[in-house]
Structure 1
Amino acid sequence: MRKIIAVVDDEEKIREIIKSFLHNEGYEVLEAEDGKEAIELADQQAIDLMLLDIMMPNMDGLQALREIRLINRKLPVIMLTAKSEEIDKLLGLEMGADDYMTKPFSMRELAARMRAVLRRSAPDVEAAEVDEIIKRGDIEINLNTYEAFINGETLNLTPTEYKILVTLAQKPGRVYSRLQLLDISMGEAFANYERSIDTHVSNLRKKVEKDPAHPEYIHTVYGMGYRFGDKK
């Protein structure tokens, strides 16, 4: 079955270029020209991944992403923008974006980023065959259904947050460097974005910790990386 990609950009020419390329790559493409239409697509269509521009009229991509995450926490989203400031990247990541690309970009790079995001948003079948359920304290992760819970309540995690949680929870006590977590959750192509892991971990802590400033589960090992507490 062909993957369905939503391309959201107010510039028709850009949408047409991306659409033509993605069609040749075997994807089905849906289009929207502003944030409001993006929200409607996320709410009404079965989408595998959204390419979401930031600078748009009526409602920009960051506002749209905030609303989309209330509708669908699991929809993979790659932000597109002409801006290159670090603050825009951090804002997008904090709101739940899975990746960020600055215009202009090559179609080959876009395809590689999309494959990486789609790959890490899919359930880990091999891991599911080994251990279907991971239980750590009040956290439970079902590797078959690609779901995580805390005290029986569903954790609304982005694909990257889910990958980080699974990686750390599978081996409590083991320290993972930022680069290792980046490679596992986002792929080696993102080596230059090592510090973005800090943002994803911070977002994850807000969802799983009673007091994110004093975490029980996800510990920082200063100068090294992160580890999962020894929760049974």
Structure 2
Amino acid sequence: MSADPKKIVIVEDEPSLVFTLQDTLASEGYDVFVAKDGDKAVDIVQEEDPDLMILDLMLPGMSGFDVCREVRDQNYTFPIIMLTARDQEIDKVTGLNIGADDYITKPFGVKELLARIKARLRRSDTYSKMKPVKEINLDPIHVDLSNAVAEHPEEGDLELTTREVELIRYLVSHSNEPVSRDDLLENVWRYEFSTNTRTVDVHISKLRSKIEVKPDDPKYLVTLHGVGYMLKMN
């Protein structure tokens, strides 16, 4: 029995591009859903729980950045490929920091987009097969990954972002082993091109502020200079 087709949401308001993408993806066997604005996109995500989103940055109402933030705030982890007519590094950095997985700049070739989609879905499937970790103890802080909360003895419950939960789970799966920034970009961000390892450093710093008593002198999430990071666990 064949697997159910993957669900892809196209969030785009340019009719000709929507028609091309919808027709191409349907012919590849994907279930395709279309939203012409951000509010509709969020509704579709909640109704369909898709496997991937193709998201234009320039939308009426909510911007693509806003949609990405909203989806990640609701703890959806499916890959997001952003479409932009502006080949600007700041857009890419911003998108990565709020949860996008990949970028493609207009105009683009259909074959290139299909290759990106297949790569994202493949990485996503690999990640989803990892044994889910529900909680870890980083004495005196208890990290409840199921509810995305770090239970701090002095500061109370600190909420974790979807990316922070994914980051912890990947580090736990490689605990007591060095993990490079490129590894994290590829396996947590599922980003093919290691163009901005600073993204990883920023997230690690924010995560330390939630799971370490002394973030400037970490006990568990340590930096290995010239290598990357390691989560030290007993």
CA distance in 1, matches of 2:95, 2:30: 25
Which residue in 2 is equivalent to 1:139? 143
CA distance in 2, matches of 1:203, 1:97: 18
Which residue in 2 is equivalent to 1:27? 30
**How far 1:171 moved relative to its partner?**
3.3
Q: Which runs of 5 or more residues in structure 2 are unaligned?
A: none
Name which one, 1 or 2, has greater alpha-carbon Rg.
Answer: 2
* 2:30 is the counterpart of 1:8: no
Gap change, CA 1:2 and 1:78, over 3 Å in 2: same
Describe how 1:180-195 pairs up with structure 2 within 5 A.
180-185=183-188, 189-195=192-198
* 2:109 is the counterpart of 1:106: yes
CA contact (8 A) 1:163 1:184 kept: no
Gap change, CA 1:43 and 1:140, over 3 Å in 2: closer
Which of 90, 93, 98 aligns to 1:87? It is: 90
CA distance in 2, matches of 1:193, 1:210: 28
Which residue in 1 is equivalent to 2:181? 178
Gap change, CA 1:24 and 1:89, over 3 Å in 2: same
TM-score where L is the length of structure 1: 0.76
**How far 1:184 moved relative to its partner?**
3.4
1:124-167, Cα deviation, whole Å (9 max, x unpaired): 57653xx977745223668xxxx866449885524xx5554333
Gap change, CA 1:37 and 1:219, over 3 Å in 2: same
TM-score where L is the length of structure 2: 0.76
Which residue in 2 is equivalent to 1:97? 100
Describe how 1:27-176 pairs up with structure 2 within 5 A.
27-122=30-125, 124=127, 127-128=130-131, 135-137=136-138, 138-139=142-143, 150-151=150-151, 155-158=160-163, 161-176=164-179
Question: Equivalent residue of 2:17, what SS?
Answer: helix
Amino acid at match of 2:143: I
Question: Equivalent residue of 2:162, what SS?
Answer: coil
**How far 1:113 moved relative to its partner?**
2.4
CA distance in 1, matches of 2:47, 2:19: 22
CA distance in 2, matches of 1:36, 1:133: 31
CA distance in 1, matches of 2:128, 2:98: 28
CA contact (8 A) 1:73 1:156 kept: no
Question: Equivalent residue of 1:122, what SS?
Answer: helix
Identity across the alignment (%): 36
Gap change, CA 1:181 and 1:50, over 3 Å in 2: same
Question: Equivalent residue of 2:50, what SS?
Answer: coil
CA contact (8 A) 1:53 1:80 kept: yes
Gap change, CA 1:204 and 1:110, over 3 Å in 2: farther
Q: Which runs of 5 or more residues in structure 1 are unaligned?
A: none
CA contact (8 A) 2:6 2:51 kept: yes
**How far 1:55 moved relative to its partner?**
0.9
CA contact (8 A) 2:11 2:41 kept: yes
Identify the range of structure 1 (202-211 vs 76-85) with the bigger mean alpha-carbon deviation.
Answer: 202-211
